[in-house]
Structure 1
């Protein structure tokens, strides 16, 4: 086919499609996702408010290195190249991250997450685009078709990363430029001007000595200045958010992302070794990693109507296979899923609370327990929970019971909603809908005191282990009465020693006696016989040091270098835990792909030889650490701790 013939065909096609005709545009959008999911009247409004634009080949449509897009685009004809993480070096290399053809949409992610920055888009051919107004973006993705479109985009395969790309970046490596800063005496007007000139959505307020005091963002200016009519001559310290949320430059990017999702932050400061602000990471900086849509997912959960939640639950389940295909670290996959599950819990509480007029927002705190609270979620994980009722000084016993009954009913309704979304509740009954997991703050404190004083009665150690893992996700986020009591565990020698022995009860072993008797030597429960022993040791080790950390790795770090758990043993457990987590996650994701219910029992014979060897080695290492700890514990005097 000659170039002249191709040009003639192209001209003929353009002549046949008159995109200046609103009817043609309406018909075009009706054939492409996510617009096909919009009601007809919304699609018609979108067509009326949009504008057709034409660009010559090589024309820059969006420049994410210098400005943030305020419009999204649909490709009507032609092809557009996208650089999703636009650096000068990346653009100069000529290797585009993505090519968008007819019906493709771009520029919507930055608008959707409410952040600054964005892709660089260049016309690879002559192109005709439909420029969409910003108001339409939220509507597009609030429909089932829009959610499906996001999930499909997330699931697109990516090229295998190079060895350098596979290495997880640190917070310091993500920082794109020097921070925008100002002194505390600067006025709000001057700070806003400085932000505008720097094309920044934030400004860090620093003391004369360069110490970070706080941060002012676009949102702060809107909420604390414009909406309340505050004088712009006020000092910037009057409207800043303080203290400044910050991470060291050595923090891993996955941990930073999860913390930002967890705290609902759009900006996170990065500190260098001298505790000075090296730069600021914003949520848009994660747009090129597989979890970029988690910000949008969290926003969608926060706004979701009750009828939308089951579909969102299915989207959460897809986090596991999608991110594992894209080589995300397992702790990253687990953490993102846990944050999404907790967002679902919060939304279910918000939807159910009006149904229970006996309760108000300040009447209770909801605790996440177990693997969700530890950010160690896998596809088979269920949801454990507890409620802390706010004390009612002077209230009668009847009034307290009325509130408790309402809280139990609320918890039952919340867990029912979660079940409908494919998020199961704990099968052993460790849920807030059970009276023993729904108590007032005073009752929890009293119970914790009893558990410490009498650790062998009333399932004390089991209950303590569950509640020490508690993470407040709704209500008073500082409230952890049981964990607070157990910070002083080492001051109670008997309970201290008994909890250590309890932590060593679950043995790491390839074959249990039950396996031998039932001739099940070819299977292995990776949770019961490998991971739970590490989790239990880590919990006790952290409590022995008065630490309230929740993640197993962090607990092992906090409890290391002690008489019972030397640093080298803690390091062995951390390494083994990482390997075991990966094997477990890959096993369960493979079960999902085979349309089977994910579980923890592996067929050892069917495992790849490398993983089988690693599994056996890890179990031996964990068992050896347990034996050493048990031997050392015989000579342990808690008073020496």
Structure 2
């Protein structure tokens, strides 16, 4: 192996149990990008490694057994080719203290086979493969995800999809952090939709470059629970004909039907990619978004704008037609003000007078009167500071320390969100185990005294933030 050297970085410090660093075994091997594929394969064979980390400047790439077979052997690449030319996209390195479940979500979302792990100084400590992650409580999600990805028929895909709620319930019982459970549930749900799109597209010969599928709502925010719906939209290429759009919409309806047949709840309000309102050409989406900004009081423009701010592309290619327009929202004082007003419409509260008069004083809709107001706040403050984060916790972190969200308040709201999601998931798993319909309507007497106290405190914190934002709304530093 002339002209190539192996770098064996030194392990620094210890990592806490439950963090990804605890799964590293042995010293890491990092090879230079100049090493030949043949030499790298020899190293992997001699050392018994399934993957090697490749140094790409300040970034990392990963060379795997599968990569060598697919990208080198099958395609006939010269074995003398430098590994830097055959490794796939750059792989994000994660700090050693990152929770295992967070890395698992990263692997699921990006379909990774190996993740480099670094210390605080960015020095490589090792790499964790998908096989290493299988030992984690949420590790079997990788197996389920793989089964979803290779399903060859709609019925097989539905069979695997039907296991998702059982898997989610098991994670909750094991005490997995609520945001980690929700992220994995969302990723598995998106995987089902993505595979359904693959199956329908391959059968009908659909052009993937002509369509971009968007996940909306809680799945897009990675906040999904057992009661979450699958919301969706699509953006077609501008040159797609009306006849092809009709064909695409029919295919989208079939995809939604497959997902529904697998147990995924489909949005009852029609926020689905098969409907004309949520399936447009990119130029039409651009025009619609521009109209919503120019006339935010027309046609529930604010509601649709908020919905699209949560969108996350999961299949197809190309833009959506809304990127540049939505980026300009922050400069529109009137529209931002209306978005804030919409975000504050539903007040966080434990009971409404309607509940008392109707005899429902003992129930609490945790989504409508706590979590939805909080996610609305997070969406707006993230937009205010120019963040493109999608999940609620990341949005609150992005806005922390800004004029609209002091750092301590952001930390409190992140904790509040985790508490509410944990109570929600525990309650829904209990309903699921008993064979009851899973809902967001909690019977307060079924909660423990501690849970009731935590929910009440959480609602007060959200209500306090709503009042503060309401007062700030009159003097926001925005310009038209």
- Matched residue SS, 2:139: helix
Matched with 1:312 is 160
Structure 1 equivalent of residue 10 of structure 2:
none
Q: 1:168·1:253 contact (CA, 8 Å) conserved in 2?
A: no
Structure 1 consecutive aligned stretches of length 4 or more whose deviation exceeds 6 Å: none
**Separation in structure 2 between the aligned mates of residue 245 and residue 551 of structure 1, nearest angstrom:** 19
Deviation for aligned residue 1:539: 0.6
**In structure 1, how many angstroms separate the alpha carbons of the residues matched to 2:273 and 2:238?**
17
Q: 1:277 to 1:467 in 2, by over 3 A?
A: same
CA contact (8 A) 2:282 2:322 kept: no
- CA change 1:521–1:483 in 2 (3 A) is farther
- Pick the aligned partner of 1:535 from 356, 375, 380: 375
2:306 & 2:18 partners in 1: Cα distance? 34
Q: Is it true that 1:324 corresponds to 2:324 in the alignment?
A: no
Task: Choose the corresponding residue for 1:424, options 254, 265, 270.
Answer: 265
Equivalent residue number for residue 303 of structure 1:
150
Q: Is the 8 Å Cα contact of residues 269 and 280 (structure 1) preserved in structure 2?
A: yes
Q: 1:592 aligns with which of 429, 432, 452?
A: 432
Q: Does 1:352 align with 2:352?
A: no
Q: Deviations over 1:349-377 (max 9, x none)?
A: 222235545x3222211111111111111
Structural mapping, 1:483-562, within 5 Å: 483-562=323-402
**What is aligned with 1:8?**
none
Closer, same or farther: CA 473–299 of 1 in aligned 2, 3 Å = same
C-alpha distance 466-168 of structure 1, shift in aligned 2 (>3 A): farther
Say which of 301, 309, 326 aligns to 1:460.
Answer: 301
Please give the alpha-carbon distance, in whole angstroms, between the structure 2 residues aligned to 1:472 and 1:445: 16
Aligned-partner Cα distance in 2 for 1:605–1:217: 53
SS of the equivalent of 2:396 reads: helix
For structure 1, the 5+ residue unaligned runs are 1-164, 393-398
What per-residue deviation string (whole Å, max 9, x for no partner) do you get for residues 531-562 of structure 1? 00110010111111221111100011111212
* C-alpha spacing 1:417/1:631, structure 2 compared with 1 (3 Å): same
- Using a 3 Å threshold, how does the CA distance of structure 1 residues 555 and 168 change in structure 2: closer, same or farther? farther
Q: What's 1:118 paired with?
A: none
Q: Does 1:335 find its partner at 2:175?
A: no
Q: Is the 8 A contact 2:214 2:313 kept in 1?
A: yes
Name the SS for the 1:291 alignment partner.
coil
2:134 match = 287
**2:61 and 2:164 mapped to 1: Cα distance?**
34
Contact 1:363–1:389, Cα closer than 8 Å, also in 2: yes
Give TM-score scaled by structure 2 length.
0.92
CA contact (8 A) 1:470 1:480 kept: no
CA distance in 2, matches of 1:483, 1:607: 43
Q: For each residue in 1:503-529, what CA deviation from the matched residue of structure 2 results, as whole angstroms up to 9, or x when unmatched?
A: 111210011132133232111100000
Q: Which residue of 1 aligns with 2:256?
A: 415
Match of 2:276 among 427, 435, 456: 435
Partner Cα separation in structure 2 for residue 513 and residue 404 of structure 1 = 47
Correspondence for 1:184: 33
Where do 1:176-325 residues align within 5 Å?
176-206=25-55, 211-304=58-151, 305-325=153-173
Mapped partners of 2:331, 2:401: distance in 1: 19
The answer to whether the Cα contact below 8 Å between 1:266 and 1:283 also exists between their aligned partners in 2 is: yes
CA shift digits 1:70-108 (9 cap, x unpaired): xxxxxxxxxxxxxxxxxxxxxxxxxxxxxxxxxxxxxxx
SS in 2 for 1:268: strand
Q: Tell me which residue corresponds to 2:457.
A: 617
1:577 corresponding residue in structure 2? 417
Post-superposition Cα deviations, 1:38-61, rounded to whole Å, max 9, x if no partner, equal xxxxxxxxxxxxxxxxxxxxxxxx
Q: Deviations over 1:147-201 (max 9, x none)?
A: xxxxxxxxxxxxxxxxxx9x87223333323321122222222222222222212
1:339-418 paired onto structure 2 within 5 Å: 339-354=187-202, 356=204, 359-392=206-239, 400-418=241-259
Q: Deviations over 1:418-461 (max 9, x none)?
A: 22111121011111111010011111112111212221112111
Q: Give the deviation of 1:386 after TM superposition.
A: 0.4
8 Å Cα contact 1:468/1:482 also seen in 2: no
Residues 248 and 273 in structure 1, CA contact (< 8 A), matched pair in contact too: yes
1:441–1:481 CA contact under 8 A, matched in 2: yes
- State the shift of 1:579 in Å: 0.3
Structure-to-structure mapping, 1:111-150, within 5 angstroms? none
* TM-score (ref. length: structure 1): 0.70
Pick one of 284, 288, 291 that aligns with 1:450: 291
Q: 1:250–1:289: structure 2 CA closer, same or farther, 3 Å change rule?
A: closer
On the 8 A contact 1:184/1:235 being kept in 2, the answer is: yes
Distance 1:205 1:355 in 2: 38
Aligned length: 465
Larger Rg: 1
Tell me: CA distance 1:404–1:229, structure 2 relative to 1, closer, same or farther (3 Å): closer
1:298: how far off? 1.5
Call closer, same or farther: CA 1:175–1:552 in 2, change over 3 Å: same
Structure with larger RCO (C-alpha < 8 A, sep 6+): 2
